[in-house]
Amino acid sequence: MGRRENLSIHSDPVELRQVRSAIEAGGTRVGFNKKDCHAMALAVDEALANVIKHAYGGAADKKIEIEIEELNEEVKEQGLKVSIRDFGKAVEISKIKGRKLTDIRPGGLGVHIMRKVMDKVVFECPPSGGTLLRMVKYRRNEQKRKETTD
């Protein structure tokens, strides 16, 4: 099993920076390049922003739990898995979709960014309420190959 880090934050935008740092640190340990680490931090940041805006309606004092799991050599594929649990208004999973990029307007980009950056984006509605979001990004074979030839 890979290394796991659990973070518990309030739904306050000021706390998102520490999560971005933790994602980048985890990504670096797994071996992602800097660009992928930044992109994963962005995807997680967008997910958390959606929780704050939609699940908690902008309230800054609600709980969000984040688990960052480093998938390393001991498991089949290397990568980073991030789970985000909120206890707010459950999302209607069927209605979650990124807007069309040809529709140029402010907002609505978060889900598009999450899906573009991560390999897996899965929303679940636990029986106890709220939403659980699981996202995974695997290291690309090209990146692994490059290391073996360097």
The yes or no reply on residue 46 touching another protein (CB under 8 A) is yes
Cα dihedral sign for 128, 125, 130, 95?
negative
In the region spanning residues 21 to 40, those forming contacts with another protein, defined by CB under 8 A, are 35, 38-39
Cβ atoms < 10 Å from Cβ of 38: 16
Among 10, 63, 112, 140, binds another protein (CB under 8 A): 112
Binding residues for another protein, total number by CB under 8 A: 24
Complex with another protein: residue 38 or 89, whichever CB lies closer: 38
The yes or no reply on residue 140 touching another protein (CB under 8 A) is no
CA angle 48, 57, 114 (to 5 degrees): 25
Cα dihedral sign for 77, 82, 87, 92?
negative
Part in contact with another protein (CB under 8 A); list of ranges 1-9, 14-22, 61-69, 126-134 = 14-22
The yes or no reply on residue 82 touching another protein (CB under 8 A) is no
6: left (phi over 0), alpha (psi -120 to 50) or beta: beta
**What is the CB-side half-sphere exposure of residue 120 using CA atoms within 13 A?**
15
The yes or no reply on residue 113 touching another protein (CB under 8 A) is yes
Complex with another protein: residue 90 or 109, whichever CB lies closer: 109
Backbone phi, psi, residue 88, to 5°: -95, -155
Structure tokens at 73: 């050599």
Among 109, 124, 132, 143, binds another protein (CB under 8 A): 109
The yes or no reply on residue 120 touching another protein (CB under 8 A) is no
Q: State the residues that interact with another protein by CB under 8 A.
A: 13-14, 16-17, 20, 35, 38-39, 42, 45-46, 49, 52, 101, 104-107, 109-110, 112-113, 116-117
